[in-house]
Amino acid sequence: MNTSEVVRLYLKHPGNGMTRPSTIKTRREFLRRLDDRDIAKWKEDDLVDLLVSLKIADSTKATYRNHLVSFFEWAHWQKHIKQNPAAHLKRALSLNPRAVRKHNWLTAEEVATVLASTPDTLIGRRDNLILRIGFTTALRAKEIISIRWSHVDLNDRSLWIPDGKGGKAAELAISRNTHAVLADWYGMAAAALGRPPADEPVVIAFHSSVLGDHTARCRPLWTKEILYDSLLRRIALVSERSGVRFRPHDMRRTYAGLLEESGSHIDSIQRALRHSSSATTERYLSQRLDKARIAQESAGLDF
């Protein structure tokens, strides 16, 4: 049996250990990386080579390694394979998922620099919208990807998140400038679709092709959401172009940090971040490495 067919059965099977649609979707996106060979022909070395080829952090690579272990354990349990090539994958590929990474809290000026770096093209406008949503709502990358037009109320300037992290739903405010960009993007989506968008994604994918003169052409796919890996690459490109170092989750950190600098109470920041407790928010903010500098600048001491 081909790998793609076994993946399809795995994702539908009640014994796959996944209960949330978002978890199944994430697992499906990763397992698409497996080529469609006979499922029985996968070897441990093939799986190691696949993981090693991914240019991602060890923490993410460890998550993907666990996805492979779960999938092939299930395939072995269901007798689709006689030998499990992932049985010793954790020993075959040792990772350091807790490697220290410097997080980034951007200043308001740096956020403005990042937003100004996106070009005035369709794909640039899409990227600008991703950034504005990230910096003004504290949504996580996968939550941004999951937004549908049916979740957006432009009249009320509100955004509904039906299935956030931990299955928590939330209603968020849309800032004035983000609302203007979002309304413009809505108009372009409606014109392209020939009708008001509803269940279509807000953050869409683009199809890239190379023309005869070797120039690249990007075509918007108004009914298809951007993939998680593609969003990571776009953020990395914007970071490089703007000269401001940040990753997707740094948008959420920046939101929290700017709220703290504005004098917002920890309980308010907790609610904005949708943390279960203020202790989580305090730990989140305590990771800032620039607190001493901010305190010094605020004191203004100079002799």
3-state per-residue secondary structure call for 126-190: HHHHHHHHHHHHCCCHHHHHCCEHHHEECCCCEEEECCCHHHCCEEEECCHHHHHHHHHHHHHHH
Q: Does domain 108-291 have CATH number 3.20.20.140?
A: no
Tell me: domain 3-92, CATH 1.10.150.130, correct?
Answer: yes
| Overall size of the chain counted in residues | 303
Domain ranges of the chain: 3-92, 108-291
pLDDT at 289: 67
pLDDT at 105 over 80: yes
Helix runs in the chain, H state only: 3-12, 21-31, 44-53, 58-77, 89-92, 108-116, 122-137, 141-145, 176-193, 228-242, 248-261, 266-273, 278-286, 291-299
CA angle 144, 146, 148 (to 5 degrees): 100
Q: At 101, is the pLDDT very low, low, confident or very high (cuts 50, 70, 90)?
A: low
* Residue 207 backbone phi and psi in degrees, to 5: -100, 125
The one-character DSSP state at 195 is S
pTM above 0.75, yes or no: no
* Res 268 pLDDT > 80: yes
Identify which of 127, 179, 124 has the alpha carbon closest to the alpha carbon of residue 155.
179
Nearest to 54 by CA among 229, 237, 234: 229
Label residue 172 left, alpha or beta by phi (over 0 means left) and psi (-120 to 50 means alpha). Answer: beta
For 204-254, write each residue's pLDDT tens digit: 999 976 555 545 678 999 999 999 999 999 999 999 999 999 999 999 999
Contact 116, 51 (CB under 8 A): no
Out of 46-60, 139-153, 277-291, the most confident range is: 139-153
Distance CA 151, CA 149 (A): 5
Q: Comparing C-alpha atoms, which of 247, 239, 251 is closest to residue 135?
A: 251
